[in-house]
Amino acid sequence: MISIIGREITAYFVNPAGYVLIGSYGILSGICFVLSVVANMSSNMISYFGVWLYFVNVILVCLLSFRFFSEEKKNKTDQLLLTAPISLFSIVMGKFLSAVIIFTVATLINLFYAFIILLFSSSTTNDFIIQFICNFLIQFIGILLEGYAMIAVSVFISSLTESQIGTVAATFAVLIVMFVADSIAGFLPGWAEIALKSISMYSRYSDFSLGILSLFPTVFYISITALFIFLTMRVIEKRRWA
């Protein structure tokens, strides 16, 4: 697993791809931060960590999806990977964790935005600082959990197709559906409403955005991540035996 992670991380940074990914995240998140926080002269980051950053994360995960299994199929290196003397778990987790590392490094830029708010905030009381830091850390943890679940979904989609463009398009479509699922569920009949609400990715983040570390959304994101990693392993196992 370590060798696959090292291989993937190296591949991101031996060419400009990794720097473009992190730079793109910095530009997009910076624009969203200015529009949602700075423009309102507020220290409240609820809206920024909500809908704004969800779409930035969607774009980042879509860009990351270029490096998953569809690229291996395109370059005809998937057979070498599948016949290598390593477990399916190591293959899938190596791909997943390499993307997780890049995603985490990119999202660390949010620490800079928090520092800006603390630096220029009109309130400098200890209570405000402690409350702001606690809220920010919970919001940041939620963003990471949400992002890791998105990556797991994208890795699974990548295992189903050899087209990198197809992977990006399908990932974007699925993550957008997971964003609007809760909103459109009310227009559907009983069982469909329940099914659609059960896959809503964005609505589960509401507690985190308010600075509340809740068990249910945490378990939801971890479960989504584990489920799609498991499904990816089953797809790769089928290809290995084929």
**pTM reported for the whole predicted model:** 0.89
Q: Could you read off the pLDDT of 180-194 as tens digits, one per residue?
A: 777 776 666 666 667
Q: Which pair of structure tokens corresponds to residue 93?
A: 């987790």
Determine the pLDDT at residue 159.
84
146 phi/psi in degrees, rounded to 5: -65, -45
Q: Could you read off the pLDDT of 208-230 as tens digits, one per residue?
A: 888 888 888 899 999 999 999 99
- In 3D, which of 224, 135, 229, 234 has the Cα closest to residue 181? 224
Percent of the chain exceeding pLDDT 70 equals 86
Q: Could you read off the pLDDT of 95-150 as tens digits, one per residue?
A: 899 889 999 999 999 999 988 888 877 666 777 788 888 889 999 999 999 999 99
Q: Could you read off the pLDDT of 9-43 as tens digits, one per residue?
A: 777 777 777 788 888 899 999 999 988 888 877 77
In our burial notation (b when 16+ CB lie closer than 10 A, e otherwise), range 42-79 reads ebebbbbbbebbbebbbbbbbbbbbbbbbbbbeeeebe
